[in-house]
């Protein structure tokens, strides 16, 4: 039952084929050769069909535009089959052929295809009638067609009988869909790869603004769409896309050519044009562009469909330079030696090809003319298709006699999927999509003295590695010299230091170049964005690189710091000198009246204060930042505390009110007062250090330098430290001001007043100056104020006393001090008798620890 259905199904197909093959047509010319296995061939020996309509409505179809190059391609198949037969690669099994002319037209191809399948109908009917032989052997496979649009239509029809079609030129990606085209295979890569190869060439040369010539055929539509996909990823734009009619006899072809030429001329900044048009299209376009003065600088990227078609340019009247430079994408090239020998045989044995009417149409069988039209890529692709079929036949016929039991097209198709065939020492097989992913050759057209050389391979594109590789460094160098410095851009390249900014309403390739902002850079041409500089680096506006930031701080070699440190050193030395003087004259009235031990503590605190100034210079670090404020705060607090104790003692010495004097005596605990005052400051700085201690920080200045400084962080704590010192200083000032008119031997009060005034003035000025000074000299402001305060205390508290000790020794005696006290008493009490009311502590101004006055020298009114 299943067998009957199968035969019935085949018989229905045969009726369809017979009707199709006889519909308005006559017999077709065909090249044939007998064999046990017949291989079909479909070649566009004519490239178009001229259709005329008769008065009765019938059509006359005449194939025109005879193509010698395509005739040679059909002979490649013949030569390959005959070589297999001669070498008996299939044993006693021979391969024959049936070659038809597609005329480059889908309809014509479909009308001729039943000639391939008529034998299968007879074979099916033979099975049905149990007859074992028929006059026509079935065509088991077809090589062709060349154009994708024809291949798509033909393979659908051939698939009705499972006849595999192996194309040597149909590259549309649609044919890789085995669900729709299960019987289609090819020995060339599909156009997705070619589009990617073209995009690599454009990208490698920086051609981002290109024109595209295409047709409305299936091949051109698909590859144009794929090229747009890949170029869009690389930032390459189509300046224009001109679509030409795929049919060369289309009545609109002339207008389309004119429009395309005008578009090319009008786009003067488009120097690179990618073309997927047919050779005849390009011939018409070049004829129109020959007088264009801009033509010599254009670069044409030719797809496989015309990249090896030198006939498009009439070299007798023009040269290649008239139209520019042509870079072609071709399929892998084959060895043409055997084919040339085969064509030479045409001259010696013309009768050998009487079965080929297409050679007669050519008018001349001169081998030299035919050899000029050999496309090496076609040699490889067609020979490989023959090798694939021969291998599949061999695989099928190893275990059976194919002369008596010929394989069916379905069996051959299955064998082709599994076949592993080889040529020129390499092995090949079809992938699951029926494709062969080999590689592309990149050719550069060159003008010779007599013709065009379109077979100069300069590079290869690997499909598997997606890489473009030149044949050699010399070839690469020569290639770039040949094409020159051609640019094809919508706008000039953005140089390093600039980035591309898109323009509203314009393609992405038409952009503006904006300089990189400060602290950003771009180091490549046509950078999409500016990159930020790394930490500790900077750049100016429009920079192509970042520079290391110079670190700025109050350096040891800075002249201002040297001056300040000189004053610091001088202050420290003077402090030491004063200390030595005081210790050397420890028991003199001047030292005793200055409360000697307290003065030594005061000198020690001044020494520490001077030392703290050093911590404000040099490169800051966190420990230094914490130490400098703490050391200054505590040391200066100790200074002011000692001065405050001395102030209290002066007031206590000359307080005449017994009640007040008694209270002050009880409160006057010098070292306890100093300790309490210091404790308050310790609490402040400890809180500061624990909660948010000062740290080393940095900021970027207007001149792009990295300014290193100490960040006090907790400003209220810093303020509290200064306010606390100020409060103690204010108390000192108030107490000292009260005793400003005491005897000369007690003139500390006056100088304490002056010292505190200097302190207040300097620190009041410090506030606004510190707030307004910027840069590395901020620490210098505080250094100056500290030095002024320290020098004020040093001068006012000790220099006058040192002057008396060293230069006015007569004033550093007990008599002098008594005289001052008597004078003070007389001025304030009226008689010396009232001096007895002075507290005992006042007499320390002329008491010493090493020399006691004799009893008779003591005033009788002083307490015993």
Whether the per-residue pLDDT at 540 is higher than 50: the answer is: yes
Distance of CA 726 to the CA centre of its chain: 59
User: For 444-476, how does the pLDDT look when each residue is reduced to its tens digit (9 = 90+)?
Assistant: 998 887 778 888 899 999 988 888 899 988 888
Average pLDDT rounded to a whole number, residues 412-424: 92
Has residue 554 been placed in a domain? no
The answer to whether 198 and 329 have CB atoms below 8 angstroms apart is yes
Has residue 824 been placed in a domain? no
- CA dist 615 and 628 (Å) reads 5
Whether the per-residue pLDDT at 96 is higher than 90: the answer is: yes
Has residue 109 been placed in a domain? yes
Lowest-pLDDT range, 87-101, 497-511, 604-618?
497-511
Average pLDDT rounded to a whole number, residues 747-773: 82
Per the rule left: phi > 0, alpha: psi between -120 and 50, beta: everything else, 635 is alpha
648 with 792, same domain: the answer is: yes
- CA dist 174 and 196 (Å) reads 16
**Whose structure tokens read 């193509």?**
67
The DSSP string of 140-203 is EEEE--SSHHHHHHHHHHHGGGT--EEESS---GGGG-TTT-TTEEESS--HHHHHHHHHHHHH
How much is the pLDDT for 827? 61
How much is the pLDDT for 437? 81
Has residue 821 been placed in a domain? no
Has residue 733 been placed in a domain? yes
Confidence of residue 363 (pLDDT cuts 50, 70, 90): low
How much is the pLDDT for 657? 63
How much is the pLDDT for 654? 59
Confidence of residue 364 (pLDDT cuts 50, 70, 90): low
The DSSP string of 639-657 is HHHHHHHHHHHHHHHT---
Has residue 605 been placed in a domain? yes
How much is the pLDDT for 373? 87
Whether the per-residue pLDDT at 130 is higher than 60: the answer is: no
Q: Which segments of 654-747 does DSSP mark as H helices, in order? A: 658-667, 670-691, 715-738
- Among residues of the chain, what percentage have pLDDT more than 70? 86
- CA dist 181 and 433 (Å) reads 10
Of 788, 812, 836, the one marking the end of a domain is 812
End-to-end CA distance of the chain: 156
**Whose structure tokens read 């009246």?**
593
- CA dist 350 and 343 (Å) reads 10
Tokens describing residue 232 = 């869009």
Measuring CA to CA, which residue among 331, 333, 329 is closest to residue 197? 329
How much is the pLDDT for 800? 83
241 with 317, same domain: the answer is: yes
- CA dist 631 and 608 (Å) reads 7
Distances (CA, A) of 285 to 95, 205, 275, 443, 765: 43, 25, 11, 21, 87
464 with 540, same domain: the answer is: no
229 with 273, same domain: the answer is: yes
- CA dist 733 and 749 (Å) reads 9
Please name every residue paired with 552 in a beta bridge, in sequence order, or none if there are none.
Answer: 707
Whether the per-residue pLDDT at 856 is higher than 80: the answer is: no
Confidence of residue 182 (pLDDT cuts 50, 70, 90): very high
How much is the pLDDT for 482? 83
How much is the pLDDT for 25? 42
611 with 636, same domain: the answer is: yes
Question: What SS3 state is found at 746?
Answer: helix
- CA dist 283 and 310 (Å) reads 10
Phi/psi at 414 (5° precision): -65, -40
The answer to whether 116 and 145 have CB atoms below 8 angstroms apart is no
How much is the pLDDT for 492? 86
Lowest-pLDDT range, 326-335, 339-348, 769-778?
769-778
Tokens describing residue 398 = 């190893």
- CA dist 190 and 571 (Å) reads 91
607 with 735, same domain: the answer is: yes
Lowest-pLDDT range, 27-36, 195-204, 838-847?
838-847
- CA dist 767 and 782 (Å) reads 10
How much is the pLDDT for 458? 92
Average pLDDT rounded to a whole number, residues 628-639: 92
The answer to whether 430 and 416 have CB atoms below 8 angstroms apart is yes
User: For 29-86, how does the pLDDT look when each residue is reduced to its tens digit (9 = 90+)?
Assistant: 899 999 999 999 999 999 888 887 777 777 788 898 898 999 999 999 999 999 999 9
Average pLDDT rounded to a whole number, residues 839-852: 40
- The C-alpha angle 572, 573, 576, rounded to 5 degrees, equals 90
Distance of CA 772 to the CA centre of its chain: 42
Q: Which residue has the higher pLDDT, 423 or 8?
A: 423
Please name every residue paired with 500 in a beta bridge, in sequence order, or none if there are none.
Answer: 513
- The overall average pLDDT reported for the chain is 84
- Whether omega before 145 lies within 30 degrees of 0, making that bond cis, reads yes
Average pLDDT rounded to a whole number, residues 197-204: 93
Measuring CA to CA, which residue among 373, 311, 384 is closest to residue 343? 373
**Whose structure tokens read 């904006």?**
514
**What is the domain extent for residue 533?**
498-548
Confidence of residue 506 (pLDDT cuts 50, 70, 90): confident
Q: 467-491 b/e with 16+ CB inside 10 Å = b?
A: ebebeeeeeeeebeeeeeeebbbbb
Has residue 16 been placed in a domain? no
- CA dist 241 and 267 (Å) reads 12
Confidence of residue 742 (pLDDT cuts 50, 70, 90): low
Q: Which residue has the higher pLDDT, 828 or 820?
A: 820
**Whose structure tokens read 């230094």?**
624
The number of distinct structural domains making up the chain is 4
- CA dist 235 and 508 (Å) reads 7
User: For 210-269, how does the pLDDT look when each residue is reduced to its tens digit (9 = 90+)?
Assistant: 999 999 988 899 999 999 999 999 989 999 999 999 888 888 999 999 999 999 999 988
565 with 703, same domain: the answer is: yes
The answer to whether 489 and 209 have CB atoms below 8 angstroms apart is yes
What 3 state SS string does 588-628 have?
CHHHHHCCHHHHHHHHHHHHHHHHHHHCCCCCCCHHHHHHH
- The C-alpha angle 588, 590, 591, rounded to 5 degrees, equals 70
Q: 814-824 b/e with 16+ CB inside 10 Å = b?
A: bebbbebbeeb
User: For 282-313, how does the pLDDT look when each residue is reduced to its tens digit (9 = 90+)?
Assistant: 999 998 988 787 878 899 999 999 998 888 88
Whether the per-residue pLDDT at 618 is higher than 50: the answer is: yes
709 with 584, same domain: the answer is: yes
388 with 512, same domain: the answer is: no
263 with 382, same domain: the answer is: no
Distances (CA, A) of 583 to 179, 586, 597, 823: 112, 5, 10, 30
How much is the pLDDT for 355? 87
How much is the pLDDT for 704? 80
- CA dist 419 and 394 (Å) reads 10
Tokens describing residue 604 = 């020690």
Confidence of residue 108 (pLDDT cuts 50, 70, 90): very high
CATH code for position 310: 3.40.50.2300
Whether the per-residue pLDDT at 485 is higher than 90: the answer is: no
Measuring CA to CA, which residue among 69, 78, 149, 72 is closest to residue 110? 149
Average pLDDT rounded to a whole number, residues 373-391: 94
Whether the per-residue pLDDT at 642 is higher than 80: the answer is: yes
* Burial of 350 per CB tally in 10 Å (0-12, 13-18, 19+): exposed
Whether the per-residue pLDDT at 747 is higher than 50: the answer is: yes
Confidence of residue 576 (pLDDT cuts 50, 70, 90): very high
Beta strands in 278-431 (DSSP E): 299-302, 325-331, 421-423, 426-428
- CA dist 60 and 50 (Å) reads 8
Most confident of the ranges 53-67, 480-494, 643-657: 480-494
Has residue 860 been placed in a domain? no
How much is the pLDDT for 1? 44
Whether the per-residue pLDDT at 494 is higher than 70: the answer is: yes
293 with 359, same domain: the answer is: no
Give the other-Cβ count within 10 Å of 827's Cβ.
10
Confidence of residue 655 (pLDDT cuts 50, 70, 90): low
Confidence of residue 328 (pLDDT cuts 50, 70, 90): very high
Q: What is the DSSP letter of 216?
A: S
Average pLDDT rounded to a whole number, residues 509-530: 91
How much is the pLDDT for 744? 52
**Whose structure tokens read 């003008």?**
447
How much is the pLDDT for 2? 46
User: For 777-822, how does the pLDDT look when each residue is reduced to its tens digit (9 = 90+)?
Assistant: 889 888 999 999 999 999 988 888 888 888 887 777 777 766 766 6
244 with 373, same domain: the answer is: no
The DSSP string of 561-581 is HHHHHHHHHHHHHHHHHHHHH
């Amino acid at each position: 039952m299943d067998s009957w259905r199968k035969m019935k199904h085949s018989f229905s197909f045969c009726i369809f084929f017979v009707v199709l093959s006889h519909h308005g047509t006559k017999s077709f010319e065909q090249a044939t050769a007998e064999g046990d296995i017949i291989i079909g061939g479909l070649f566009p020996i004519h490239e178009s069909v001229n259709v005329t309509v008769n008065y009765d409505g019938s059509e006359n179809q005449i194939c025109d535009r005879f193509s010698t190059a395509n005739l040679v391609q059909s002979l490649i198949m013949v030569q390959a089959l005959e070589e297999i037969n001669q070498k008996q690669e299939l044993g006693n099994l021979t391969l024959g052929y049936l070659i038809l002319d597609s005329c480059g037209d889908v309809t014509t191809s479909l009308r001729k295809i039943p000639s391939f399948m008529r034998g299968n109908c007879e074979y099916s009917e033979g099975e049905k009638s149990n007859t074992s032989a028929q006059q026509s052997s079935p065509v088991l496979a077809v090589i062709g067609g060349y154009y994708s649009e024809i291949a798509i239509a033909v393979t659908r029809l051939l698939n009705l009988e499972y006849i595999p079609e192996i194309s040597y030129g149909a590259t549309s990606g649609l044919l890789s869909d085995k669900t729709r085209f299960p019987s289609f295979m090819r020995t060339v890569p599909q156009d997705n790869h070619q589009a990617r190869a073209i995009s690599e060439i454009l990208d490698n040369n920086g051609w981002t603004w290109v024109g595209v010539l295409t047709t409305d055929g299936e091949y051109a539509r698909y590859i144009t769409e794929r090229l747009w996909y890949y170029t869009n990823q690389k930032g390459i734009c189509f300046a224009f896309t001109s679509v030409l009619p795929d049919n060369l006899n289309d009545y609109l072809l002339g207008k389309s050519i004119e429009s395309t030429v005008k578009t090319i001329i009008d786009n003067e900044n488009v120097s690179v044009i990618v073309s997927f048009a047919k050779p005849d299209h390009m011939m018409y376009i070049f004829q129109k562009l020959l007088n264009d003065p801009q033509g010599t600088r254009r670069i044409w990227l030719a797809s496989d469909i015309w990249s090896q078609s030198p006939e498009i340019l009439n070299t007798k009247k023009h040269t290649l330079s008239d139209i520019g430079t042509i870079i072609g994408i071709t399929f892998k090239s084959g060895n043409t030696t055997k084919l040339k020998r085969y064509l030479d045989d045409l001259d010696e044995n013309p009768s050998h090809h009487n079965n080929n009417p297409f050679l007669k149409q050519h008018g001349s069988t001169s081998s030299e003319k035919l050899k000029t039209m050999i496309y090496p890529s076609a040699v490889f692709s067609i020979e490989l298709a023959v090798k694939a079929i021969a291998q599949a036949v061999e695989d099928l016929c190893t275990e059976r006699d194919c002369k008596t039991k010929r394989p069916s097209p379905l069996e051959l198709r299955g064998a082709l999927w599994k076949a592993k065939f080889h040529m020129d020492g390499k092995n090949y097989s079809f992938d699951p999509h029926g494709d062969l992913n080999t590689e592309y050759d990149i050719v550069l057209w060159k003008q010779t003295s007599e013709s065009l050389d379109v077979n100069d391979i300069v590079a290869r594109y690997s499909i598997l590695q997606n890489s473009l590789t030149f044949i050699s460094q010399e070839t690469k160098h020569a290639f770039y010299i040949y094409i020159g410095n051609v640019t094809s851009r919508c706008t000039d390249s953005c140089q390093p230091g600039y980035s591309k900014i898109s323009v509203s309403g314009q393609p992405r390739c038409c952009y503006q170049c904006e300089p990189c902002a400060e602290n950003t850079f771009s180091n490549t041409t046509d950078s999409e964005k500016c990159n930020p500089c790394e930490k500790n680096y900077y750049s100016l506006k429009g920079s192509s690189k970042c520079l290391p930031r110079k670190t700025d701080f109050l350096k040891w070699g800075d002249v201002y710091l040297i001056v300040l440190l000189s004053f610091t050193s001088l202050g420290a030395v003077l402090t030491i000198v004063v200390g030595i003087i005081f210790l050397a004259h420890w028991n003199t009235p001047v030292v005793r009246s200055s409360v000697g031990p307290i003065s030594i503590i005061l000198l020690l605190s001044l020494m520490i204060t001077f030392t703290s100034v050093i911590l404000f210079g040099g490169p800051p670090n966190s420990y230094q930042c914490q130490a400098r404020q703490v050391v200054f705060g505590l040391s200066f607090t100790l200074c002011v505390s000692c001065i405050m104790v001395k102030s209290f003692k002066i007031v206590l010495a000359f307080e005449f009110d017994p009640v007040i004097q008694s209270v002050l005596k009880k409160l006057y605990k010098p070292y306890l007062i100093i300790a309490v005052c210091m404790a308050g400051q310790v609490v402040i700085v400890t809180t500061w250090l624990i909660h948010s201690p000062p740290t080393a920080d940095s900021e970027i200045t207007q001149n792009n330098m990295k300014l290193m400084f100490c960040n006090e962080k907790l400003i209220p704590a810093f303020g509290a430290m200064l306010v606390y010192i100020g409060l103690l200083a204010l108390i000192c000032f108030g107490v000292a001001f009260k005793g400003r008119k005491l005897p000369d031997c007690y003139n500390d009060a006056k100088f304490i007043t002056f010292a505190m005034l200097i302190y207040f003035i300097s620190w009041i000025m410090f506030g606004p100056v510190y707030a307004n000074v910027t840069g590395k000299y901020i620490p210098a402001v505080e250094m100056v104020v500290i030095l002024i305060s320290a020098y004020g205390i040093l001068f006012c508290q000790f220099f006058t006393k040192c002057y008396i000790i060293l230069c006015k020794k007569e004033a550093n005696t007990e008599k002098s001090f008594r005289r001052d006290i008597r004078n003070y008493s007389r001025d304030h009490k009226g008689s010396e008798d009232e001096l007895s009311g002075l507290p005992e502590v006042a007499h320390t101004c002329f008491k010493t620890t090493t020399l006691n006055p004799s009893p008779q020298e003591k005033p009788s009114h002083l307490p015993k």
